[in-house]
Amino acid sequence: MGGTIIRLFLRKDVELEKLPQEVSRWLVFLEFPVEVVVDNETPQQIWGIKGNLPQEISNDIMKSVAEPGEEYCPIIFNRDGVEVVVLWEANRLGNNYLLAPAGRHLLPLDVSLFRYWNSGDFPRRHKREEPRTLRKIANGGIYLADDLPGFKVAERTRFHYVVDCRRERRFTPLVSRSGIAIDGNAISILQILVEGLVEFVVSNVESLLKTGISKYFTAYYAASAMSLLFDRSRLKETDEVVLSAVFAAQQARKVPMLLIVEQSEIALKTWKDHEGRPVVIGRNIYDNLLKSVVIGIAEFPLPHEVLQSLPDNYLVPAGAEDVIHPILLLAQYEPTQVRYVPSTKGVFIVCNPKPKDSAITFSGIPVLEFPAELVHVSLIRFDLAKCWNKSNDAVQQWFSLASTIITGVGEPQRKKVEENIEHLLRGSEKELMFDIGPETNHQAISDKLSRQFTSQFQVDIEIPIDAIKVLLSARVISDDLWHWDNF
């Protein structure tokens, strides 16, 4: 009887308890088991994924990963000789799948759903054996990698995929010890996977809308799905981050996840529908109410005065800022104006595509003229747009100080100098780590910062006391974007 024997000689300090489970991670699309023997123990049969057809493969994965009370939505497609099977944690609303994580908010929170879907369930999950992770790429039946470059879905997500390239050898990607290299073939495989998933989400969202789900929740639901697919927090390599951002911008523009104000009404749109028109980013006193309605906590129509308080082209936050941001960047949208509405304390940044005259920037952030009511504000920092206040005393003094420092340290250090000063201006008291009050020792703060800058740039730098005073008086407007898990 023929076969292959692989012997592994390990250090004594290596734990062998999980070796069979580790071996199972190496096996993809194998029709027969592999026997694993540790020392003289009884052989254990370890199977890879069984099946040839996508549906057979899907069924086998479901048996291996599903726990009682869990359900998965199978997404299966075949393009250009590449077969893809995706299992996305989900539940059902009639004939429609509700994809995790946002789908759970449409379902009654009974005991079983709370147990398996609630984010507070993480401690229970950690106590059990870690679930088998199936995010694999195969070619010719040979294991290649756990992840595609540029594609790592959000952590703690029950989401599994298998990509089988066996029938199309031209998609064989370059492989190194660290995984699949980013080359044209790997990007082609990623494009097939992402396009198929985005098309499914679009179809799923349209089906939910037809059943009567509100446009507010639908935008939040679609945005959550896109944020899960394009989660860049786990990507460490710059080229992978760029690849993910590019795919987010290209693919997510087709998804109906934007809530845009048009003539005092909120419309659900895709970026493809809205592209070329201004986008207004901001907030007012109704911000929390808007977010509560979007995710379904408050189930009532928005009052007329709320809708009237929002300017045309206002983008209602729906939770996909990490996906929308690269769309704005690639479309070359820039902040061009800041508006203030006293009656509702509304602060808004108007962004336009490819403005004729781009604003001066400092640390990559545009410098604009703010309304007189915001003269005390040095910086507005929303996730989708940022800008400095050209008329603010702190901005004027510290930008002038930056020019002086750059003259001394040289133009190549400009970026570093500007980043340091931006860090101070946006952090204010918290970053200085001093007790701020009537008895504040401005000289001590000045001395501390002077030493820090002198040490960092290796030239004598003195921070004036006046610069410290205006720094501490400056204010920053930010939007701590709302998430369900932080509610």
pLDDT tens profile 290-327: 888 887 665 667 888 999 999 999 999 888 888 999 99
Distance CA 134, CA 87 (A): 10
Clarify whether residues 386 and 287 are in a common domain: yes
Print the domain residue range for 418: 258-486
The answer, yes or no, to whether residue 193 has pLDDT greater than 50, is yes
Q: Are 128 and 222 in contact (CB under 8 A)?
A: no
Question: Do residues 202 and 283 share a domain?
Answer: no
Q: Please indicate, yes or no, whether residues 279 and 201 belong to a single structural domain of this protein.
A: no
192 and 289 both lie in a single domain: no
pTM over 0.85: no
Token reading at 24 = 């199972």
Element (H, E) at 207: helix 184-210
What's the CA gap between 425 and 469, in Å, rounded?
A: 12
**H or E element in which residue 290 lies:** helix 287-294
Domain termination site, one of 229, 254, 279: 254
- Domain limit, last residue, from 5, 27, 48: 48
Give Cα 68 to chain centroid, integer Å.
Answer: 30
Helices (H), 43-83: 54-65
**Residue 328 falls inside a structural domain:** yes
- Letter string b/e over residues 388-417, b meaning 16 or more CB atoms within 10 A of that residue's CB: bbbbbbbbebbbebbeebbeebeeebbeeb
In this structure, is residue 348 part of a structural domain? yes
Are residues 411 and 466 located together in one domain of the fold?
A: yes
> Rounded to whole angstroms, how far apart are CA atoms 170 and 224?
34
**Whether residues 372 and 265 fall in one domain:** yes
Question: What are the CA-CA distances from residue 97 to residues 46, 91, 235 (Å)?
Answer: 32, 6, 29
pLDDT, tens digit (0-9, with 9 covering 90-100), for 236-294? 888 888 898 898 888 999 999 999 999 889 999 999 999 999 999 999 999 888 888 88
How far are the Cα atoms of 248, 249, 459 from residue 225, in angstroms, in the given order? 12, 14, 50
Q: How many domains does the chain have?
A: 3
Q: Per the domain annotation, does 7 fall within a domain?
A: no
Question: Is 272 found in the same domain as 409?
Answer: yes
Structure tokens that stand for 148 in this block: 């595609």
Q: Of 203, 231, 254, which residue sits at a domain end?
A: 254
Predicted confidence (pLDDT) at residue 431 exceeds the cutoff of 60: no
Same domain, 21 and 84: no
Helix (H), strand (E) at residue 345: none
The token pair that represents 29 in the structure block: 């699309």
448 and 385 share one domain: yes
pLDDT in tens, 370-404: 999 999 999 999 989 999 999 999 999 999 999 99
Q: Which two tokens stand for residue 403?
A: 């020019």
Using a 10 angstrom Cβ sphere, with 0-12 exposed, 13-18 middle and 19 or more buried, the burial of residue 100 is buried
Q: Is residue 9 assigned to a domain?
A: no
Residues 90 and 66 sit within 8 Å (Cβ to Cβ): no
273 and 217 co-located in one domain: no
The position carrying tokens 């009887």 is 1
pLDDT at 414: 92
Q: For residues 425 and 394, is the Cβ–Cβ distance under 8 A?
A: yes
